[in-house]
Amino acid sequence: MSIRTKRLASVIQKDLGYILQQNYQPTGTFITVTQVRLTDDLSIAKVYLSVFSQNREPASIYQFIDDNQDQIRYELASKIKHQVRRIPELLFFEDDTAEYVNRMEQLFAKARKQRSGKNNSDDT
């Protein structure tokens, strides 16, 4: 990824985070833009979201964002129109990094437990 692509991805991440928090975040819900990946031609932006909601199912929030994708893109365009010639198409994805980290932690804990159990049985 070029420096320009990285900079634009960072700008889009910041601006989309602001847009989503101000206009598309239901009460009691936290939406975070964790990462933005742009294609080399800057035509498509893959936006990874993390949603924390106590009262709602996260799938309904992702559906709401997908349904309002054109409006979100329009609001993003008003913020970055002087930085790009063409506003990238937005594709929203669920960021599953936290789930992956939790799974890895569980596997490491299991391995540590098995290792300590083998060490204790070797000593006897």
Band (123; pLDDT cuts 50, 70, 90): low
- Could you tell me which residues come within 8 angstroms of residue 26 by beta carbon, excluding any fewer than 6 positions away? 53, 56, 61, 64
User: What CATH topology corresponds to 3-96?
Assistant: GMP Synthetase; Chain A, domain 3 (3.30.300)
The pTM score is 0.75
**What is the C-alpha to C-alpha distance for residues 109 and 2, in angstroms, rounded to an integer?**
39
Instruction: Please answer whether residues 9 and 29 qualify as being in contact, where contact means their C-beta atoms are separated by less than 8 angstroms.
Output: no
Q: What is the mean pLDDT of residues 1-12?
A: 89
Q: In the chain, where are the structural domains located?
A: 3-96
Q: What is the largest CA-CA distance in the chain?
A: 72
User: Looking at residue 90, what is its pLDDT?
Assistant: 94
Q: What is the mean pLDDT of residues 23-38?
A: 85
**What is the C-alpha to C-alpha distance for residues 106 and 99, in angstroms, rounded to an integer?**
11
Query: What tokens does 39 get?
Result: 């294609």
pLDDT one-digit tens code per residue, 63-90: 888 899 999 999 999 999 888 889 999 9
